[in-house]
């Protein structure tokens, strides 16, 4: 019964989240110019972090479903005709990794990746490249397993200090590990009428075991959980973004509760379960 309830929240979230703000079970929320809920502005470069953005329809002021929903909620960051809706990580000069729920059911031909700066307003410092194609993991089941996708870019990143790949973690992360979450998700628990921050936010969380996480959700071995002390967590706009443990990509933001920062676990795709698949997709 709980899972069905969470799924209904997720479905609301996914459509209202424009494809990933924080999908799956947590219709999370991040607002204002603050941070990942309970976090703080990232003072250092996070060169592997990307913003997944949606382009308005050409020759039309109508931003489409995704952009329109962002306007209703309060707006997504991004310059010109683009709006942020999900996060992701740089794999190499031609590929990024994000959550499957950020891709499935949407027009990838209007999606772009923005990287190279912590501030979405810095058009002159960042690089924006349109997406060529995306591969969703064949075993993906919403709110259940394999919420991961790899996207190929139409052009290559100019790699350097501001854009560098993140190494994927192969170690099975247990409970009690301190990890770093970054993203441009909403920074308050309630989303409507709020705006996502233009400046990248970060927060540190400790992982918990799947057994502990299962007190709230029904997780699978392909998932990883963190839990805060309260009023902290991932939110809409953070979906697909990186959870870094031991300086390696350990998780991809997947889902949580509809209201962010409620002292309940956030769930991530466990990257160590998908390294072979990601490497295969990012070598094409």
Catalytic residues: 101, 147, 239
**Could you tell me how many residues make up the chain?**
284
Q: 190 with 70: CB under 8 angstroms?
A: no
Which residues share a beta bridge with 207?
A: 226
Token pair 């409970």 is found at 175
Integer Cα distance of 157 and 160 in angstroms: 9
Contacts of 156 (CB under 8 A, 6+ apart): 93, 94, 129
Q: How many helices (H) and strands (E) does the chain have?
A: 4, 13
Enter the DSSP assignment of 109. G
Q: 120 with 46: CB under 8 angstroms?
A: no
Integer Cα distance of 224 and 67 in angstroms: 30
């Amino acid at each position: 019964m709980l899972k069905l309830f969470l799924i209904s929240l997720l479905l609301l979230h996914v459509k209202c989240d424009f494809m990933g703000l924080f999908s799956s079970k947590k219709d999370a929320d991040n607002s204002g110019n603050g941070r990942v809920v309970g976090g703080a502005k990232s003072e250092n470069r996070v060169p592997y972090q990307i913003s997944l953005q949606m382009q308005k329809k050409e020759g039309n002021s109508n931003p489409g479903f995704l952009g329109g929903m962002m306007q209703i909620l309060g707006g997504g960051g991004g310059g010109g005709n683009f709006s942020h809706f999900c996060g992701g990580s740089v794999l190499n000069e031609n590929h990024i990794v994000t959550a499957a729920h950020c891709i499935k059911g949407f027009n990838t031909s209007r999606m772009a990746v923005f990287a190279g700066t912590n501030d979405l307003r810095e058009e002159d410092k960042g690089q924006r490249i349109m997406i060529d194609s995306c591969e969703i993991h064949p075993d993906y089941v919403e709110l259940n397993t394999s919420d991961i996708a790899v996207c190929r870019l139409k052009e290559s990143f100019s790699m350097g200090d501001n854009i560098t790949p993140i190494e994927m973690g192969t170690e099975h992360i247990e409970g009690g590990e301190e990890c770093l979450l970054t993203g441009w998700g909403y920074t308050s628990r309630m989303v409507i009428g709020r705006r996502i921050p233009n400046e990248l936010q970060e927060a540190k969380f400790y992982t918990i075991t799947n057994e502990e996480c299962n007190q709230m959700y029904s997780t699978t071995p392909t998932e990883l959980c963190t839990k805060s002390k309260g009023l902290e967590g991932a939110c809409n706009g953070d979906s697909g973004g990186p959870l870094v443990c031991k300086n390696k990509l350990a998780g991809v933001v997947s889902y949580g509760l509809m209201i962010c920062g409620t002292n309940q676990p956030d769930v991530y795709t466990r990257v160590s379960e998908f390294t072979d698949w990601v490497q295969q997709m990012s070598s094409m």
